[in-house]
């Protein structure tokens, strides 16, 4: 009971795994998608892996289409690299191999002490553009920020299309957020040795949002790896409309679409959002008919088959560029 009235209870949910048949000496594939409750999914994966390890499974391979916490792969001031922590936890639990798709940064593979097959969704998205976007030859590939330019360039080169880049931010980036380094406020000591005098850093000024490239009279296709909070994409669509684009598509591998994303997409200038089924988003599709799904289960199934039979994975990476 909690509180003086004793009419409320704490509910503690625990994960327990029982392996109902012998897995001794076998290769086990654990397929774990990541629903809304990310932390529960991670704990389930860790407990399942450890249960199989203690049951003497030979190899335990995790099939994780969307690897959670992949955006937290760099040190942010007083933060932590959660992605590396998760990689260490999975290794300690007993995983010996991971199959995933479109890691946020390819360097994440270096966090793991075992092999990682980072599959690509770009062939499926490129095929969708060629087959489902009317008059795609009149399209232009757009990077919503300079950091996404390499991915956009890769798409543009294979489709033989032009490239545009949106430069400038409407809101503060993570690097500009107050991080508490000046609390309590710094007070210069005027007595004694002044200490080391460092040069003052110039304040960063954000440029106004501009589009580098001509999108007038074109179909604008914005490509990215993750679409979660859609405010940036909505702002990008508005500026592209102002510059003359008459139709706007968003292409992304992982459609997290959290919070009010379906409503914001429905009310925006975006015509269509195309994502793969690495993350469940059936509810979001019911709320917003602009969201379309591309099935990538075929490549995941083929990866499982090839690993099980000891075949080369090179076929799955043919015509894949470094910037995909």
Per-residue pLDDT, 75: 79
Per-residue pLDDT, 7: 55
* Mean pLDDT across 120-147: 95
Per-residue pLDDT, 6: 53
- Residue 78, pLDDT > 60, answer yes
CB 140 within 8 A of CB 118: no
- Residue 322, pLDDT > 80, answer no
Residue closest to 119 by CA, chosen among 65, 50, 200, 82: 65
Q: For residues 324 and 311, what is the distance between their CA atoms, to the nearest angstrom?
A: 23
- Residue 59, pLDDT > 90, answer yes
- Residue 186, pLDDT > 80, answer no
Per-residue pLDDT, 12: 65
Per-residue pLDDT, 1: 44
Per-residue pLDDT, 176: 45
81: helix, strand or coil: coil
| Paired strand residues for 315 | none
Q: For residues 30 and 41, what is the distance between their CA atoms, to the nearest angstrom?
A: 12
- Residue 185, pLDDT > 70, answer no
User: Can you say how many angstroms the Cα of residue 166 is from the centroid of all Cα atoms in its chain?
Assistant: 20
- Residue 109, pLDDT > 50, answer yes
- Residue 187, pLDDT > 60, answer no
- Work out the angle between the directed axes of helices 149-159 and 122-132 (0-180°, nearest 10): 50
- Residue 194, pLDDT > 80, answer no
Q: For residues 71 and 58, what is the distance between their CA atoms, to the nearest angstrom?
A: 31
Q: For residues 188 and 231, what is the distance between their CA atoms, to the nearest angstrom?
A: 41
- Residue 82, pLDDT > 50, answer yes
Q: Give the list of residues 6+ apart from residue 211 with CB closer than 8 angstroms, or none.
A: 142, 164, 165, 166, 167, 239, 240, 243
* Mean pLDDT across 210-227: 94
Per-residue pLDDT, 293: 97
CB 240 within 8 A of CB 221: no
Per-residue pLDDT, 166: 93
Per-residue pLDDT, 9: 58
Neighbours of 35 (CB within 10 A): 10
Per-residue pLDDT, 192: 47
- Residue 172, pLDDT > 50, answer no
CB 292 within 8 A of CB 268: no
- Encoding tokens for residue 105? 């940064």
Q: For residues 29 and 31, what is the distance between their CA atoms, to the nearest angstrom?
A: 6
- Encoding tokens for residue 265? 């997409």
Q: In three state form, how does the secondary structure of 86-116 look? A: HHHHHHHHCCCEEEEECCCCHHHHHHCCCCE
162-167 and 210-212 as β-strands: parallel, antiparallel, unpaired? Answer: antiparallel
Residue 170 — very low, low, confident or very high, per pLDDT cuts 50/70/90? low
Residue 276 — very low, low, confident or very high, per pLDDT cuts 50/70/90? very high
Residue closest to 25 by CA, chosen among 58, 52, 61, 60: 58
- Residue 195, pLDDT > 70, answer no
Q: For residues 218 and 213, what is the distance between their CA atoms, to the nearest angstrom?
A: 11
DSSP-derived letter for residue 184 is S
Per-residue pLDDT, 259: 85
- Residue 108, pLDDT > 80, answer yes
Per-residue pLDDT, 77: 78
Average model confidence (pLDDT) across the chain: 87
Q: What pLDDT, in 10s, does the model give residues 13-34?
A: 788 888 999 999 999 999 999 8
Per-residue pLDDT, 318: 86
* Mean pLDDT across 190-200: 62
pLDDT top residue among 72 and 153:
153
* Mean pLDDT across 108-123: 93
- Residue 274, pLDDT > 50, answer yes
Taking phi over 0 as left and psi of -120 to 50 as alpha, with beta for the rest, 250 belongs to beta
């Amino acid at each position: 009971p909690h509180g003086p009235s004793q009419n409320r209870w704490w509910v503690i949910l625990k994960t327990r795994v029982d392996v109902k048949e012998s897995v001794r000496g076998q290769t086990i594939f654990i397929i774990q998608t990541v629903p809304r409750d990310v932390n529960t999914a991670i704990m389930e994966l860790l407990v399942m892996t450890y249960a199989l390890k203690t049951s003497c499974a030979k190899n335990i391979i995790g099939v994780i289409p969307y690897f959670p916490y992949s955006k937290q792969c760099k040190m942010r001031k007083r933060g932590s690299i959660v992605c590396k922590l998760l990689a260490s936890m999975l290794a300690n639990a007993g995983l010996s191999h991971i199959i995933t798709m479109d890691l946020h940064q390819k360097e994440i593979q270096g966090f793991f002490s075992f092999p990682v097959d980072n599959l690509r969704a770009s062939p499926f998205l490129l095929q969708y553009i060629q087959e489902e976007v009317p008059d795609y030859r009149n399209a232009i590939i757009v990077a919503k920020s300079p950091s996404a330019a390499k991915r956009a360039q890769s798409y543009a080169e294979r489709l033989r299309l032009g490239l545009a880049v949106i430069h400038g931010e409407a809101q503060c980036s993570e690097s500009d957020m107050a991080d508490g380094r000046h609390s309590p406020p710094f007070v210069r000591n005027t007595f004694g040795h002044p200490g080391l005098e460092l040069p003052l850093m110039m304040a960063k000024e954000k440029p106004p949002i501009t589009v580098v490239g001509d999108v007038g009279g074109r179909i604008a296709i914005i490509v990215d790896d993750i679409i979660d909070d859609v405010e940036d994409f909505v702002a990008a669509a508005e500026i592209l409309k102002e510059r003359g684009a008459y139709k706007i598509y968003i292409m992304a591998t992982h459609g997290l679409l959290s919070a009010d994303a379906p409503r914001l997409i429905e009310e925006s200038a975006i015509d269509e959002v195309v994502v793969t089924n690495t993350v469940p988003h059936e509810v979001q599709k019911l709320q917003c008919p602009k969201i379309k799904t591309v099935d990538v289960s075929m490549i995941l199934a083929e990866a499982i088959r090839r690993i099980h039979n000891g075949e080369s994975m090179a076929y799955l990476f043919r015509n894949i560029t470094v910037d995909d």
